[in-house]
Structure 1
C-alpha cells in the first residue's frame, strides 16, 4: 500500500487547540467550563464521559457549529470563532463528521450516499447518481472499496446492517479528503462486534492518512484499545487526560469512575 507523503513540520503542531474555552448556554448551564486542550495531528483522541458532560459541545466548537462564550478555538491554525461565510465553509471542508445514527438517505444507493460527501465542493444540485461527475463516482467507488463495501455500491443504503451503514458514512466522510475527522458517538448504535470493526477501520484510516480523529465515546475499553489518548469530561470540565499506551483492562473501571464522578457521589462529595 502506498502511504501519503507526510509533512513532518505539520505534525509538530497541534491540529486543534482550545484555550480557556467556556460555553455558557444561559440559566447557569455551562456546556464547557474553562477547557484548555490540544489535539495532536494524526492522533486518535477519545472524549470520554457521561451524557451531558460536554463531549458533543466540544466537538461542535471545532467546526463552528458552536462559538465559545469566552476563550479561543484554533483548528488547523485558524481561529474558528472569527470565521464567517466562505472562509468558514472552506475550513469545514477540511473537517469531516460522522454521527451515531449514520445520517444516510435510506432509499438512495450506497454509492450516491458516498458521492454526497463531495457536495460542498460542487456547484448546483445533484438529483441523481449520474449527475455527479465521473471522477466523483470513481472516487466514491474507491472509498467504498477502502471500507470493504464496493460490492454493495448499488444497493439501497437502508438495506445494510448498522455496521455497514456506519462504514458507508465513513466512506462519505473520506470523500472530503479531510484533515480532521470528528466522530460523535460513532458506535453507540452498534453491537459490540460491529463497534470494534468500525473503530478498527477508523484507526487504520487515521494511520494511513495521518488523519486527526477526535471521537466521543461511552465505552472505556474501546477507548483504551483504539485511541492514543483519552480526555475525560465531567460537567464541562476536563477531569482526565491520559495516554492509552500501557493501560490495561483492569484500569477501565477506575477511568470510568474518574470521569463519571461516581467516586465523589459515593463519598457524599459535592
Structure 2
C-alpha cells in the first residue's frame, strides 16, 4: 500500500497534464486536478472526452506528453523497476469487461491479484500461500460472494464477475482504486449492487476512488465530486451535492452546440461551454 505523505498531500494530483498520442490526436489538454484521500470522484463526459486516458495516467499505463501525475506525493513518471511495481500495487484497477480468467474459480481469480507481491509463478489455487487464500475468501465475503468462491468464474453473472474483479483489486490493499466504466455492461439492479459495494468499501477502508461513468444518475448517487471532461479538458468540477441530473447532462449537450453559462470549472468562473475551446483535429478516449 502507498503511504500518504501527510493530510495536506492529495491522494492524486494532476499538474498541467497534456497527452498527445500523435500530432493529430490529443487525449488530455492541460488538466490540473487535486483529489483528496478517501473521496469518491466520478469522471463524466462523452466517449472520446479523455476519461479513460486520464485514469490510465494515474497508474502510468500512459505517460503524459507534458505535466506531472503524483500519487500521494510521488511523481509516477519518475519511478522505475521495483518502485513502479510498488506504486502500482497501491493502485487497484477495475475494468468494464472484468478481465477474469473464466476457466478458474472466483477464489483463484482474487488470489491472482496478489501475484505482484509473490515470487515466482502460481499454477492452481493451492500454489498460493494459505494467508493469501484466507484473505481472498474474506474479500469475497465482503462483496457478498463467499458461497461462490469455488465456482468457475465464467459461470457467474456479469454483476457477480464484477464483484470478483473488485475483490481481486482489493487484495492488493490499495489506497487508490481506479474504475473504468465498471457498470457499463450490467443491468440496473447489478449496477446498483456493484456501486453500493464500492461505496461501502470505500468508506470502510477510506479508499480514494476515481471512476469513469456515463450514467449520470449513478454518478450523482455514488460520487462526492463530479469532474466533467470535454475534448480532453475539465469543464466541470463540483460537489455532487450541488448538482442535479439536468445540469450534469449539460456536460454532454454542450459538446453538440448548446451553450450554458451555469457550468463551472474548478476555478469557479462561468464558462460558455460550446465555445470553450477551438476544435482540434482528433481526440482519444
TM-score of the pair, normalised by structure 2 = 0.87
Residue in 2 aligned with 1:52? 48
Query: Does the alignment pair 1:131 with 2:127?
Result: yes
2:176 is the alignment partner of 1:180 = yes
Q: Secondary structure at the match of 1:115?
A: helix
2:230–2:255: 8 Å Cα contact kept in structure 1?
A: no
Cα deviation code 1:77-123 (max 9, x no counterpart): 10011111111111000000000000001110111011001000000
Runs of 4 or more, structure 1, over 3 Å off, are 7-12, 265-270
2:267 matched to which residue of 1? Answer: none
Q: Secondary structure at the match of 2:46?
A: coil
| Structure 1 position 254, deviation (Å) | 2.3
Q: Quick one: distance in 1 between partners of 2:245 and 2:151?
A: 40
**Which of 254, 263, 270 lines up with 1:261 in the alignment?**
254
CA distance in 1, matches of 2:255, 2:78: 38
The 5 A counterparts of 1:1-270 are: 10-247=6-243, 251-262=244-255, 264-265=257-258
Separation in 2 of the partners of 1:164 and 1:136? 21
Contact conserved, 2:4 with 2:72, CA < 8 A, in 1? Answer: no
SS at match of 2:69: strand
The Cα shift of 1:229 comes to 0.3
**Residues in 2 aligned to 1:216 and 1:236: alpha-carbon distance in whole angstroms:** 14
8 Å CA contact retained: 1:42, 1:207:
yes
CA distance in 1, matches of 2:4, 2:94: 27
- Provide the rounded CA distance (Å) in 2 between the counterparts of 1:8 and 1:94: 11
Question: 1:240, CA displacement in angstroms?
Answer: 0.3
What is the aligned residue count?
261
The structural deviation recorded for 1:261 is 2.3
**Going by fraction, where is helix more abundant, 1 or 2?**
1
Equivalent residue of 1:258, what SS?
helix
1:176-216 CA deviation, whole Å, 9 max, x = no partner? 00000000000000011111110111010000001000000
State how far apart, in whole Å, the 2-side matches of 1:125 and 1:191 are: 36
Deviations 1:216-242 (Å, cap 9, x if unpaired)? 000111110110000000000000001
Compute the displacement of 1:256 (Å). 1.8
Structure 2, gaps ≥5 residues long? 261-273, 279-285
Q: Distance in 2 between matches of 1:12 and 1:204?
A: 25
